[in-house]
A and B are shown apart, each in its own frame.
Chain A
Amino acid sequence: MGRLTLSNLIEAAIFFLIVGIFYAFSFEFNQPIEIYIFGATAWPRVVIFLLLLATLGNLWFHYRHGNATQATLGQTDDKADFSEAGTVRRMVAVLLTPFVFAYLLKPVGIYFSAPFFIAAIIWLFGERRWKAILIMTLFIYCVFIGLFLMILNAPLPQGNVSPFYDFSAWVLKLNAKLQGI
């Protein structure tokens, strides 16, 4: 196994999987283009082949040198530290919260879900003083509403489920009233 670690193997496996999936799906659009002899698959397949070579090279490098680094430009030295279970749990929560928020945008709308999302992120970043969470949530929500709704009139997701849709409609009506539209 040389100096390969489990994380090196997982990384390589993920990239082999990506290469395999993209190669397999390339047959779906493997059709000739009259004006271009290489067709629609040539470019993606060259990229896939090169990615396969680079992944093999990367695996070879880890096999020979472990987790050594090379003198490239602009690289950062800090590395992830997941030695404690608490860190992992919190990171999983941080990574999942935006997805839940994005998933809820369609049914619930941004006007209703935003304050909960803002408060959750502040809490996940370690703030535990509830007054600070409340005040900052309100402040950020007001900045957001002020910039995108009142100044820019940007069309934002309003939700499609009652009573969330009704709440968004109320916010929009209030804005129209305030601006005299």
Chain B
Amino acid sequence: MIENFLAGSAALFGDPFTIGIFVFGVVGGMLFGAIPGVSMLTLAAILLPFTAGLEPAQGVMLFAVIYCTGTYGGAITAILFNIPGSAENAPTAFDGYPMTQKGQSGKAVGAAVLCSAIGGIASALVMMAATEPLANWAIRNIGPPEIFALVFFGLVVASSVGARTIWKGWMSVLIGLLIATIGQDPVGGINRYNFGMTDLAAGIAFIPAILGFFAVSEIFVQAEKKASGKYQAPKVSMTFPSFIELWMHKIAVLRSILVGFFCGILPGIGATLAAFMSYGEAVRWSKNREEFGKGKLEGVISAETANNAATGAAMIPLLALGLPGGALTAMMVAVFQMHDLQPGPLVFMLSPDLIWIVFAAMFYANLSILIIGVLETKTILNLLKIPFQFLAPLILMLATTGAYIGRGLVLDVMVMFLAGIIGYLLRRSGFSIPAIVLGLILGKIGEQNFAQGMQMVHYDLGTYFSRPICAILIAAGVITLASNMYRAFTSTKTSA
């Protein structure tokens, strides 16, 4: 493994043009992740046609690097403005933004930098050591029933996050699931809820919906605070977390790496659910649960470690089995295909050089987060000094463009602003936007895998739940649901 890694490193750094592409990917991923309104997916979509002119290893490596650094970049806006760069950074905002409001933005961003790097590096190392055996294990043990069970567990966890009551948490998840039913059904391709609009046949696009629910609704919340005179400019702080503070969270980091890696390895699940589940586990194991959501460093650490740990793991099904785990890995399949290659077991035999350049690049990209991230943080924190009346139109313009260029439809811009208004009204009524978005993202995956699973076991629920991993995940989900249900009927915190 070490010899292969060194050979991959030599190939990566032996050619100035390849180094240039690597640096472009690192900086581009971080910037597009950090700019509110656009994301690493926007950058990847724009770059996709240009990869035809690159060597296959350079093209795949560029996307892998963007994936690593873009996942980290989204944490910055989540922490500074409560606007996650993408869905996988949503749980980072739960504690990151309250830390900014308390004048601890430097500490939160510093922890995100360090933990993203640790999660990503750990994941890259495991990926290098065990891609083939892990892929073989996954192909034998993970099927549609297990993926459905994990989606179920993830949605149950998400329903207890971010809403004012547990009832509203459940309603939030269900709203997301209901929105996800718009468009063709994943089994028979029958049009559902398109209300006579042909553009809706493909469903609600994720990017405009996510931009609307997160970025636009946050702009509206800040507008309301400005209008009612309650707006307070966030406090800028350059204090990074101390080594002792981070060392105290070593268990949380380890747990998040495991959760992130497990979620990342499953096709279609990826970093978003990893971040939510890791945050949920951090709360579950904490002695001071009530401090979460009010600016607890462990919340940022758990979410950011897990989402970056998922990036390396997501490469395992892609490279070893040819199964993309999300939108960006799906674009990587397109890069392979542009060069007449097919990701899967044959790539390891036919193009080992390509594989090891990608592995090495992902390792160094995560290392770069640590180095460039620390330097970049001090610059980016100055964004907080810009008055919000000037930042808001910039974010709205970027969001408008980001929503439009995906499919070239004005309808998507309308959907984004509608999601913004709905998101604003729901937030002010105590609903959870991250839970809605997770429901929206996982809805189709859950339905598709449930249907495939039922077909696999010939509609016999006994067989369905006798699969050990599926049974464990369903049992964990049911226990969490029962515990939430008990609290829903018994607990109240404050009375108005």
Contact = CB atoms under 8 A, between A and B. Distances in A.
A98 B420 contact: yes
A55 B185 CA distance: 25
B191 A29 contact: yes
A98 B167 contact: no
Contact of A154 (B171, B393, B405, B416): B405
30 contacts: A22-B178, A29-B190, A36-B454, A40-B188, A40-B190, A43-B447, A43-B450, A44-B193, A47-B174, A51-B171, A54-B167, A54-B174, A55-B171, A57-B167, A58-B167, A61-B165, A67-B495, A72-B166, A72-B432, A74-B292, A81-B224, A83-B228, A91-B224, A94-B227, A98-B420, A124-B223, A126-B227, A127-B390, A154-B405, A157-B404
A125 B388 contact: yes
Please tell me the size bucket of the interface on A. Answer: 35 or more
B175 interface: yes
Contacts of B169: 72
A33 interface: yes
Interface string A62-105: 00011111111111101111111011001100110011011101
Interface string B10-31: 0000000000000000000000
B171 A118 contact: no
B161 interface: yes
Contact of A70 (B95, B164, B279, B414): B164
Contacts of B390: 122, 127, 136, 140
A174 interface: no
A76 B426 CA distance: 13
A48 B180 CA distance: 12
A148 to B, nearest CB: 5
Q: Which of B168, B191, B230, B454 has the most CB of A within 10 A?
A: B168
B394 A152 contact: no
A22 B455 CA distance: 26
Contacts of B397: 114, 117-118, 140, 144
Given A35-B188, A74-B161, A143-B394, A126 B94 contact: no
B226 A74 contact: no
B394 A106 contact: no
A63 to B, nearest CB: 12
Contact of B174 (A51, A94, A144): A51
Given A69-B165, A98-B216, A102-B410, A140 B170 contact: no
A65 B165 CA distance: 11
Interface in B154-191: 160-171, 174-175, 177-178, 181, 185, 187-188, 190-191
Please tell me the size bucket of the interface on B. Answer: 35 or more
B496 A66 contact: yes
B171 A58 contact: yes
Interface string B189-203: 011110100000000
A139 to B, nearest CB: 8
List the 4 closest A-B pairs by CB distance, nearest first.
A74-B94, A125-B389, A33-B188, A67-B496
B92 to A, nearest CB: 10
Interface stretch (B319-327, B329-337, B463-471, B485-493): B485-493
B74 interface: no
Given A68-B494, A70-B487, A114-B397, A80 B224 contact: yes
B94 A36 contact: no
Contact of A61 (B167, B401, B420, B454): B167
B384 interface: no
Contacts of B299: 74
B494 to A, nearest CB: 6
B98 to A, nearest CB: 8
A73 B279 contact: yes
